[in-house]
Structure 1
Amino acid sequence: MRLGGIGRSRNVEDRRGRRMSGRGGAVGGIGIVGFLAILAFGYFAGIDVTPLLTGQDSTQMVAREPTPAEEQEAEFASRVLTTTEQVWTEVFDAQVDGDYVPPQLVLFSGVTQSPCGGASGATGPFYCPADRKAYLDTAFFETMHRQLGAAGDFAAAYVIAHEVGHHVQNLLGILGQVDNARRQSSQVDANALTVRLELQADCLAGIWAQKVGGLMERGDLQEALNAARQIGDDKLQRDAGRVPQPHTFTHGTSEQRQRWFATGYDSGDLRSCDTFSTDRL
């Protein structure tokens, strides 16, 4: 991805290297999406996430200066965020009756806190609608490459664009509607609603990818599609030695994630990302 001419976003909150103490976020503070995300990623990555789910004391971080590699990752994330700001400002101007207000991107190392609960690198990137911030431990990029088989700079950019997609959903009122519906649903039905929410965020990431097409290099689209495939619920469960159980899915299958990303990429139209009205996910 060619980001040489893209400046760093001003909407970045850098918490890397801060010393953290106190208690991690309990299940009640995380909410169903965060709870499922923590459980799923912790299980599939082989990371102990018990302190996050039980509220045990978090491990203190040693204050230190970021390494050159970490600085490069932070600069990359900041520039990708700038492209999302440009794209969604354009899309809202053309397709939405309202202005786009960008989220903040919180960069952290190891452990941090949010209004949606405590978080660590084990949770992976996530979006908290309570403060309209996306949270990212840039070490996740290495996890994508080494543990999930999703290498490439555009794969990493897709992850950021997906989280910004949740912010777009929040601005459009979709997150609130889905959350209310989930509260009145069984666990299986709540999971099904979450899948539709996540697939829509993939579609929105596809719209972003189309709009930044001039910055893409050969192979970038394949990197994003491969990332979508590698983090499908069915593949993650098979890789963990389990038989895929669709009623437990919270993000969609590999095929669904790829297809909805491609739908957004091919159309560039918000209307094409209505995952809640279709019978075929």
Structure 2
Amino acid sequence: MKWEGNRQSDNVEDRRSSGSGFGGGGMLGGRSLGIGTIVVALVGGWIFGINPMTILSMLSGGSPAQVQQGPAQRPPADDKMAGFVSTVLADTEDVWKDVFAKGGSTYQEPSLVLFRGATQTACGQGQAAMGPFYCPADQKVYIDLGFYETLQKRLGAPGDFAQAYVIAHEVGHHVQNLLGITGKMDQMRGRISKVEYNAMSVKLELQADCFAGVWANHAQRARAILEQGDVEEAMNAAAKIGDDALQGGGGKIVPESFTHGTSAQRARWFNNGLQQGSVKACDTFNARNL
């Protein structure tokens, strides 16, 4: 991926040395979340996306936590990985600003928070074991950069474009929040069965994958960021974190518990966004086949 020398976002907050992490269990909307639950969520497929926060907190009727943080710190200028993440975030800003403007609206940029171990969010306490996540209550993407080592070594998805896909997927959840899709999911909570809600969650996650593909399409056309093998890296990453792939590594596969979609579905919807570059092409909620 061609990224060095490109613009970096000013919306990156570095909490890695702020002491904002907490040990033990977290509180999500006033509800306790122990480390055991986090591990189960991880194994169950909650590696990317808003589920660790919104489904356990925001979408379950919990109220956002009040968070107090000191002044936001910028990452060190010589931190290459932070620079990479900042550059990818900036690229998503450029793409979605243009997409929203052409649709007659204004894109509100999210912030991206770098942390280690654990950190407080407006959705409750976030922990690195959850993987990267988006909190709609404060419109921030959270990531412990150690996840990229997990992505490469444990999940078998190496490459810088695979890493960029992670950021683009979380920003896709921010786009959903701005479009009101997240709010509609919130309204469905408690009105439908758990199995039906899981099916809705799959559609939400696949749409975020598709939005990541839309970003890649526009970024490639505008700035020619792709190098040989990049698309394959992203497709591989999408496949590696499918619910069936993750559950298969831990034993029995339970389709009714899927919250993110199968490997084939995740790769297909990312590619759909990549090929068509259109938000309308990402309507997973009305798609006949996922």
Bucket of the pairwise TM-score, normalised by the shorter protein = 0.7 to 0.9
The corresponding residue for 1:59 is none
Alignment of 1:81-100 (within 5 A): 81-94=89-102, 96-100=103-107
Whole-angstrom distance in 2 between the partners of 1:156 and 1:86: 18
The corresponding residue for 1:3 is 3
Shift of residue 101 of structure 1?
Answer: 0.9
Shift of residue 183 of structure 1?
Answer: 3.0
Whole-angstrom distance in 1 between the partners of 2:176 and 2:132: 16
Shift of residue 185 of structure 1?
Answer: 1.6
- Normalised by the length of structure 2, the TM-score is 0.82
Shift of residue 117 of structure 1?
Answer: 1.5
Whole-angstrom distance in 1 between the partners of 2:157 and 2:131: 14
**Unmatched 5+ stretches in structure 1:** 54-66
1:235 aligns with 2:245: yes
Shift of residue 42 of structure 1?
Answer: 5.3
Instruction: Name whichever of 19-28 and 73-82 sits farther off.
Output: 19-28
Contact 1:30 1:118 in 2 (8 A): no
Q: Deviations over 1:214-240 (max 9, x none)?
A: 011100000000000000000001111
Structure 1 SS opposite 2:106: coil
1:279 aligns with 2:285: no
Whole-angstrom distance in 1 between the partners of 2:174 and 2:104: 16
The corresponding residue for 1:62 is none
Shift of residue 22 of structure 1?
Answer: 7.2
Contact 1:206 1:264 in 2 (8 A): yes
Structure 1 SS opposite 2:285: coil
Whole-angstrom distance in 2 between the partners of 1:129 and 1:118: 14
Whole-angstrom distance in 1 between the partners of 2:12 and 2:254: 38
Shift of residue 24 of structure 1?
Answer: 4.3
The one of 209, 218, 224 aligned to 1:202: 209
Whole-angstrom distance in 2 between the partners of 1:73 and 1:227: 18
The corresponding residue for 1:265 is 274
Change beyond 3 A, Cα 1:236–1:103: same
Q: Deviations over 1:31-67 (max 9, x none)?
A: 99xx98763215679xxx9xxx9xxxxxxxxxxxxx9
Shift of residue 179 of structure 1?
Answer: 1.6
Shift of residue 197 of structure 1?
Answer: 0.2
Alignment of 1:1-281 (within 5 A): 1-19=1-19, 20-21=21-22, 24-29=25-30, 39-41=40-42, 71-94=79-102, 96-213=103-220, 214-240=224-250, 242-281=251-290
Q: Deviations over 1:89-119 (max 9, x none)?
A: 111122x231011100011011101111111
1:124 maps to a residue whose letter is G
2:272 maps to a residue whose letter is T
2:95 maps to a residue whose letter is V
Q: Which structure would you say has the larger RCO, counting Cα contacts within 8 Å and 6 or more residues apart?
A: 2
Change beyond 3 A, Cα 1:251–1:225: same
CA RMSD between the two structures: 2.6
Change beyond 3 A, Cα 1:255–1:21: closer
The corresponding residue for 1:57 is none
Shift of residue 27 of structure 1?
Answer: 4.5
1:181 maps to a residue whose letter is M
Change beyond 3 A, Cα 1:192–1:38: farther
Shift of residue 243 of structure 1?
Answer: 2.3
Bigger proportion of residues as helix:
1
Contact 1:105 1:134 in 2 (8 A): yes
Contact 2:45 2:260 in 1 (8 A): no
Change beyond 3 A, Cα 1:130–1:108: same
Q: How many residues align?
A: 257
Whole-angstrom distance in 2 between the partners of 1:278 and 1:174: 15
Whole-angstrom distance in 2 between the partners of 1:91 and 1:41: 33
Q: Deviations over 1:237-273 (max 9, x none)?
A: 1111x22111000000000000000110111111010
Shift of residue 205 of structure 1?
Answer: 0.2
Whole-angstrom distance in 1 between the partners of 2:130 and 2:202: 17
